[in-house]
Structure 1
Amino acid sequence: MKKEILVVDDQPGICMLLTDILTSEGYHVETAKTGKEGLDKINNSSFHLLMIDYKLPIFNAFEVLRRMEAENRIVPTILMSGMTEDDIREKEDCSKIESVLSKPFNIHEVCKLVKATIG
């Protein structure tokens, strides 16, 4: 059975790139363009991994994580951002995040990070 990954990013190019990369690695990938759309998908399906952009329309990544926690939905999460990990950790409680993937990212780094997180 393929592991399910949800990619939430408002940039269609990022969603397409990650879908192509992760599908070729044997994962099943779904995408969402907004935090709200991502949250709806999380509430209606089961995912092994959430890859979510920090800045999103409607709900940002941390609002999505807060709402997931309120619903008792725990999904390993990789945060994607143009900011550095230190900048994000200064602003937000990152205890719900497995790791931060800085944009622009290296394709090999993405694969390594996903494998390390969910196998």
Structure 2
Amino acid sequence: MGERPRVLVVEDNAELVRILTTVLADEGYQVEAAADGQRGLHAGLTRAYDVIVLDRGLPAIEGVDLLQRWRGRGVTTPVLILSALGNPADRIEGLDAGAEDYLSKPFDFGELLARLRALRRRHLDDARTLPVGDRLLDLDTRQLRPRGATAGVQLSERECALLSVLAGRPARVFSRRELIGLVFADADSEVVVDTYVHYLRRKAGRGLVRTIRGRGFQLGPG
């Protein structure tokens, strides 16, 4: 959709956050920052990012604990841990908690940017299909097809984008406002969300998207 990649930086060192924000913005990222683990937890659970940079030594919720909470709630965004704790045991702990990469402080900003590019490439390769019940959503062809099949229901670009958001976090309920921001940023009314949910159900079955009364929408059982 032509948008700049979004990165969440969870770091309590204000000066380092300032430098990271400048470096990452120059690289083309949209940067959001959280100064403690509690704010980072909320951001990671309520907003979508392409990659996350996570400090270990955070106030409120320590970095590894925060990462485990994200993973336990279905957040699959690739995470690079930054930490002054750089011995092998610390690295193993961070990677076992669900991080994709680990970089010790002090670090070279060029290396950080290269690692983030590699994380995003691997994540995009892995994310070309998403499970949707007993079917798969192919993001390249925009087809929702049975597992093992080569063809299925053809979706429009917006239909595919909406379904990919729901399928990316199947346990989460998305409000209409969140879906506007993630899929329909140019829309002037939340009615467009209901319209495209209707389109998806008409093409692929009413059970594809579940309405949670008073809250929004969630991926259905199929």
TM over 0.5: yes
The runs of 4+ residues in structure 1 deviating greater than 4 Å are none
Unaligned runs of 5+ in 2: 122-222
Match in the other structure for 1:116 = 118
Give me the CA root mean square deviation: 1.4
1:51-62 matches, within 5 Å, as: 51-62=53-64
CA distance in 1 between counterparts of 2:26 and 2:112 reads 12
Q: Identical aligned pairs, as a percentage?
A: 28
Unaligned runs of 5+ in 1: none
Counterpart of 1:79 (choices 81, 91, 95) is: 81
In structure 2, the CA distance between the partners of 1:65 and 1:10, relative to structure 1 (3 Å rule), is: same
- Aligned residue type for 1:68: W
Counterpart of 1:15 (choices 11, 17, 26) is: 17
Scaled by the length of structure 1, the TM-score of the pair is 0.92
CA distance in 2 between counterparts of 1:101 and 1:10 reads 17
> Which has the higher relative contact order, 1 or 2, with Cα contacts under 8 A spaced 6 or more apart?
1
1:33-112 matches, within 5 Å, as: 33-89=35-91, 92=93, 94-95=95-96, 96-112=98-114
In structure 2, the CA distance between the partners of 1:53 and 1:93, relative to structure 1 (3 Å rule), is: closer
- Aligned residue type for 1:14: L
Per-residue deviation, residues 67-91 of structure 1 (Å, max 9, x unmatched): 112211111000000121513135x
